Structure 1
Amino acid sequence: MNYLSMIFFQIVAPILLLLIVGVLLQKKFQFNLKAMSQLITYCFMPVAVFLNIYETTIELSVLGQVAIFIMLFIGCQMLLSHYIAKVLKLNRMESAVFKNSVVLINSGNYGIPVAQMVFSTQPIGVAIQVILVIFQNMTTYTYGLYNLISSTKSGVEIVKDFVKMPIVHGLILGVILNVLNFEIPQTVRIPLDHISEGFIAVALITLGAQLSQIELKTMINKTIVISCFTRLVVGPATALLIIYLLGLDGVVAQSLFIASAFPTSRNSSSLALEYDVESNTAAQTVLFSTIVSCITVTIVIYLSTILFT
């Protein structure tokens, strides 16, 4: 119960409070949600991802282990979500949102605080979580973006839309400047930091504004429940199997196991709103999985302390 209360009050509760702020503001002012989504997609997201990649120092040995794990894990999640969507007989747009809700994980504003709390005396645990954030960003803006675009477009249009996305430019530029060890001038760095620091708040308030238009009773439906079960229960079980197959142990195994249990990424909702693809369902899934995760993540953390320490 100690872990449950700490996770809830230090991580989940602040997220829920920002969502509530978004709900209240939307009820009073009726913001243009499309404009807010564009502000996130074309300003806040690319800057946040750019700085995240630019600042990260990765040890090659740890990166190798994490890279193999994450490719296997994400690959399994992609296949699993694809076949579940077929069994549920979802249409293309519903299928795109469902797949993203299973594959895309909130490794940033949820995962890093959890890692900082659990691995307060073991910096490698936090470093691994930062690496996972980078992989998740890459997955979000490749696989996740492709899912949404391909549900409404095809062929050359998909390639054109993907290449034009500023988040892709930010990701590539972050890698290049990181490799070159280029120091960004303070005149540029200071405004970038301000934008990046505002990303989480703006994204969650916008998500709350989306949720204000949703009746809570509609959140409990078969597709959303199955999505959350797959993300929060089947996901960690799959991760545990991969960890044992790869022979991982210690803090690396513990960190990867915990990271596999985080809820659906809020970016899946932001992108769904931007491309107008089942945005209400995406927002409902993010909220539902975040609430349920305060229980499931706690259980996974407890199991990780038994299995890998």
Structure 2
Amino acid sequence: MTIGVLLQKKFNFQLTPIVKLITYCFMPAAVFLNIYQAEFDYGLLGQLLLYLFLFTCSTILLGNFLSKLLNLKRQESAALKNSISLMNSGNYGLPVSQLIFSANPLGVSIQIIMIVFQNLLTYTYGLYNLVSASKSAVDILKAIFRLPIVHALLFGIIFQFFDIPLPNFALVPLEQLANAFFALALFLLGAQLAHINIKSFHSVIVWSILGRLVVGPVFAFLIIFILGIDGVMAQSLLIASSFPTSRNTATIALDNQVAPELHAQIVLYSTVLSGITVTIVIYVAMILF
């Protein structure tokens, strides 16, 4: 990420083609390959889906409660709600999970399910918060089904479930693309942060950071404890709950001109501070589970 910031300051890359390259090439390869190679315990899938439902509801309720408590304006309220419930599971979370669970594909596979779920949440709940009056349900569904990672996930599940072998001429390039994703994703994140200008500091940023980086992992731990989840699955879910605010919140806010600077600053601060908080959560997760 630091290399991304420094090189972006020096060379001022056009980031849109890199974003499209990651979205349409590198990330789908990583998603497909990790699902294809994972050893799933399908009995845990129902438990995982229940966790996702409870965790998402708790973060959404927290965002709505804080918005009403602070008596925020509509645009500020949308920024706070999205920043707490939408996490950077893609170009932040997946490389982190790959690093931690390199010897255990299940941990990475759980993170991939989180990525797909978070993307669905972004283009439904997140988009609704920003432009509920101007986007129809059909438009939102079209946006979801255009996501390449959704197609990659479906193909990965099909190939994994029916145990379809991949020949080396397909497997080797996919592995190379998947390996390239992790470095390029973090580089891109740093390059995107280099563009954010800090002109003022809004109190919403503080509440967003507390909700995303502190309260989020606390909610996750309580739900994991209540559901009796243990082992690698518990580690992966707790760590995934600690990731910073999704960069997509700033992207869709800019596209729809809903407090784009506030969204961008929340992404910047939460990403920088997550270097501390995510490290602590990883350490705690490894001790507890």
1:113 maps to which residue? 99
- Report the TM-score, using the length of structure 2 for normalisation: 0.77
Matched, 1:199 2:184: no
> Alignment partner for residue 231 of structure 1, among 212, 236, 243?
212
Specify the code of the residue in structure 2 equivalent to 1:50.
F
Q: Distance in 1 between matches of 2:79 and 2:22?
A: 20
Q: Distance in 2 between matches of 1:271 and 1:184?
A: 37
- The answer to whether the Cα contact below 8 Å between 2:87 and 2:243 also exists between their aligned partners in 1 is no
Count of residues in correspondence between the two structures: 281
Q: Secondary structure at the match of 2:8?
A: helix
2:121 maps to which residue? 143
Shift of 1:49: 1.8
Specify the code of the residue in structure 2 equivalent to 1:133.
Q
Q: How does 1:147-226 map to 2 (within 5 A)?
A: 147=125, 149-150=127-128, 151-152=130-131, 153-155=134-136, 156-216=138-198, 218=200, 220-226=201-207
1:134 maps to which residue? 112
Deviations 1:247-301 (A, max 9, x none): 4456655554444333345565677778887666555444433432343344445
Q: Distance in 2 between matches of 1:183 and 1:96?
A: 45
Q: Which runs of 5+ in 1 are unaligned?
A: 1-18, 117-122
Distance 1:79 1:56, change over 3 A: farther
Q: Distance in 2 between matches of 1:272 and 1:56?
A: 35
Q: How does 1:223-262 map to 2 (within 5 A)?
A: 223-248=204-229, 253=234, 256-262=237-243
Q: Distance in 1 between matches of 2:197 and 2:25?
A: 30
1:73 maps to which residue? 55
Specify the code of the residue in structure 2 equivalent to 1:74.
T
Q: Distance in 2 between matches of 1:203 and 1:279?
A: 22
Q: Distance in 2 between matches of 1:251 and 1:28?
A: 41
Q: Percent identity, aligned pairs only?
A: 39
Q: Which runs of 5+ in 2 are unaligned?
A: none
Is the deviation greater in 67-76 or in 262-271? Answer: 262-271
Specify the code of the residue in structure 1 equivalent to 2:273.
V
Distance 1:94 1:109, change over 3 A: farther
Q: Distance in 2 between matches of 1:41 and 1:275?
A: 20
What is the CA RMSD across the aligned residues, in angstroms? 3.5
> Alignment partner for residue 291 of structure 1, among 251, 272, 285?
272
